[in-house]
Structure 1
Amino acid sequence: MAGIGKKASAIVMAVAMLGIAGCTAQYRNHGYMPDEEILSQITVGVDTRDTVLETLGAPTTSGVLEQGDFYYIRTRMEQYAWKRPQPVERTVMAVSFDQRDVVSNIETFGLEEGRVVTLESRVTSSSTADKTFVRQLLGNLGRFNAASVLGGE
């Protein structure tokens, strides 16, 4: 009878261990994000689309245009037992190119509390760099005071 008691306690311990293991979070990483050492090899204003591909590798996705920007996306998922996996961390790195296919900006964004937050920006571009004269003119249409134009104030 003593052997049955040991077997029963071993089974109870195994079931308890499985129950505890089911409450432990499982983590998985999806996507690819270049590390800082590799990213430091990219120089804004010098490197081209081809050198970025060679140094950083293929992006997770790219812009909708044929020569669009590159986006590297990494998501860390957390899952408890049978529950649906939930994203706990998401990082997006955007590499922008100018008309000559030279890197014009590198920005890193995170997802915190459901909002996109800029984590890092390597270049601040001027607001008129990529705008034509007509686009700048039309962009200012909503910025004037109608009363001053009509002779009011």
Structure 2
Amino acid sequence: MRLAALALVLVAAACTAVYRNHGYVPVDQDLAQIKVGVDTRETVAEKIGRPSAQGLLNDVGWFYVQSRFKHLGPKEPEEIDRQVVAITFTEAGVVENIGRYGLEDGRVVEISRRVTASNIKGVSFIGQLLSNFGRMSLDQMGVN
């Protein structure tokens, strides 16, 4: 009887949802301290901290991202909430805009996994290195 009760408790515990938060998004009170057209990257960093993500190509934006995931037993975790605060800067580094976005604002982007095929299957690095020694002439090495 006790063994059956213990098994029932373990099964029920395995089906209990576990929620995990990842990332950081400043609260509205902290964002209210930032003035568009006045604050700079440095003052934003002092007031709310630096983000974990920035614009990759031209660094015109800072992105604060927070996600909430639901883990339920052996199932794959499900993202149930996402908040993104985007702060964009002018080229001079002054705050240009502050935007807040949620999970409903996002869209799925298909990632193309193109891989360049290699024609050297089965050839080791050492084999490649040693095979190159016979292909070089003294003229190519600069010896006359």
Structure-1-length-normalised TM-score? 0.65
How many residues were matched structurally?
107
1:71 is aligned to 63
Structure 2 residue corresponding to 1:60, chosen from 52, 66, 75: 52
Residue identity in the other structure for 1:71: F
Structure 2, gaps ≥5 residues long: 108-144
The answer to whether structure 1 residue 93 and structure 2 residue 85 are counterparts is: yes
Matched ranges for 1:1-40 at <5 A: 9-40=1-32
1:43 is displaced (CA, Å) by 1.0
Q: Structure 2 CA distance, aligned partners of 1:40 and 1:22?
A: 42
3-state SS, counterpart of residue 51 of structure 1: helix
- Cα RMSD of the aligned pairs, angstroms, is 1.6
Do the aligned residues in 1 keep the contact of 2:86 with 2:99 (CA within 8 Å)? Answer: yes
3-state SS, counterpart of residue 52 of structure 1: helix
Do the aligned residues in 1 keep the contact of 2:60 with 2:90 (CA within 8 Å)? Answer: no
Residue identity in the other structure for 1:104: E
3-state SS, counterpart of residue 106 of structure 2: strand
Greater RCO between the two (CA within 8 Å, min separation 6)? Answer: 2
Structure-2-length-normalised TM-score? 0.69
* % same residue: 40
2:97 is aligned to 105
Q: Structure 2 CA distance, aligned partners of 1:15 and 1:36?
A: 46
1:76 is displaced (CA, Å) by 0.4
Q: Deviations over 1:32-76 (max 9, x none)?
A: 111112111111111100011111112120002353210000010
1:86 is displaced (CA, Å) by 1.2
What stretches of structure 1 move > 4 A for 4+ residues in a row?
none
Residue identity in the other structure for 2:106: V
Q: Structure 1 CA distance, aligned partners of 2:28 and 2:34?
A: 10
